């Protein structure tokens, strides 16, 4: 598909349950054909900026209905930043004001809205997140609606969780679908000890699934050559080759679970 084969626009989602707030999302989907799956896109600390919108557009061009979800809906619902030092400081200041319960409530609202937009039967939703959004993607993977998640360089999952509490990695056993974590081998925000902790958590969850005969694809961890933010073409540490490898891993994960073009996906 090409950009002319997809459409995109801002979309306001209204709360459906207690604890939810309005969400200003970016919505991209195929213009003519029915989407072959739905994907939640969780942004970096910089909000739903031009690069995140380009990711949703690229997913739409690949045949998916993609919804970018704001992570600061309570403190900065329309945040859209660049990648300078001041932008980073502002984005991190809002990140420190989030909580796991609120983030999961917001992603659940987006998932509840997205599911009816898809042709039935659907194998569940995909989820992809970058940076802080990658951390939140691991949390979102515990939602029943999410069947496959790709977490790009989600820092901090081995040391805590938004709003405080034990490491988010402790929630991996609650993930019903498939989780793929993709990190840069030189990422200063995900040191070797954290990479080892992620590998251990995913391996233990896979072993438990085998013992319980759970029919799900195994979780995985992939290291690519690069630092933090290598997927993002707007960042100084962008690595084009690693970004293309990451994009291939993303599409392959979604196709395995949500289905290839013309397929219905895996249950």
Mean pLDDT along residues 217-225: 97
pLDDT (tens digit, 9 = 90+) per residue, 98-114? 999 999 999 999 999 99
Task: Report pLDDT digits (tens) over 54-88.
Answer: 999 999 999 999 999 999 999 999 999 999 999 99
Give the CB-side neighbour count of residue 9, counting CA atoms within 13 A: 6
CATH match for 3-258 among 3.30.410.40, 3.40.50.2300, 3.40.50.2000, 3.40.50.1820: 3.40.50.1820
Least confident of 4-8, 89-93, 223-227: 4-8
pLDDT tens by residue, 152-161: 999 999 999 9
pLDDT at 2: 53
What's the pLDDT tens digit per position in 195-215? 999 999 999 999 999 998 888
pLDDT of residue 265: 38
Binned at pLDDT 50, 70 and 90, residue 264 comes out as very low
User: Can you tell me the mean pLDDT for 172-184?
Assistant: 97
- Rounded to an integer, the average pLDDT of 165-177 is 97
Tens digit of pLDDT for each residue in 237-251? 999 999 999 999 999
Q: What phi and psi, each to the nearest 5 degrees, are found at residue 101?
A: -60, -40
Percent of the chain with pLDDT strictly greater than 70: 96
Could you tell me the pTM of the whole model?
A: 0.95
- Please give the torsion angle defined by the CA atoms of residues 252, 256, 262 and 266, in that order, rounded to the nearest 10 degrees: -160
pLDDT of residue 4: 59
Q: 3-state SS of 27-84?
A: EEEECCCCCCCEEEEECCCCECCHHHHHHHHHHHHCCCEEEECCCCCCCCCCCECCCC
């Amino acid at each position: 598909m090409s950009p002319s084969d997809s459409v995109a626009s801002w979309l306001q989602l209204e709360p459906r349950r207690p604890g939810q707030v309005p969400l200003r999302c970016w919505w991209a989907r195929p213009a003519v054909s029915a989407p072959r799956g739905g994907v939640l896109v969780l942004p970096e600390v910089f909000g739903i900026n031009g690069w995140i919108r380009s990711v949703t557009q690229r997913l739409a061009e690949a045949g998916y209905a993609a919804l970018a979800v704001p992570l600061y809906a309570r403190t900065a619902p329309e945040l859209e930043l660049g990648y300078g030092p001041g932008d980073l400081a502002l984005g991190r200041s809002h990140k420190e004001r989030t909580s796991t319960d609120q983030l999961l409530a917001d992603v659940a609202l987006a998932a509840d809205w997205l599911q009816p937009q898809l042709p039935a039967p659907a194998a569940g939703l995909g989820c992809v997140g970058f940076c802080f959004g990658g951390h939140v993607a691991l949390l979102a993977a515990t939602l029943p609606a999410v069947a496959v998640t790709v977490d790009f360089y989600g820092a901090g999952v081995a040391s805590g969780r938004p709003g405080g509490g034990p490491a988010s990695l402790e929630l991996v056993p609650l993930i019903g679908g498939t989780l793929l974590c993709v990190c840069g081998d030189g990422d200063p925000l995900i040191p070797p000890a954290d990479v080892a902790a992620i590998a251990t958590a995913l391996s233990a969850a896979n072993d438990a699934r085998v013992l319980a005969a759970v029919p799900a694809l195994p979780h995985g961890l992939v290291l690519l050559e690069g630092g933090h933010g290598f997927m993002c073409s707007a960042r100084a540490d962008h690595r084009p080759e690693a970004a293309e490898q990451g994009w291939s891993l993303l599409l392959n994960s979604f196709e395995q679970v949500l289905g290839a073009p013309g397929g219905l996906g895996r249950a």
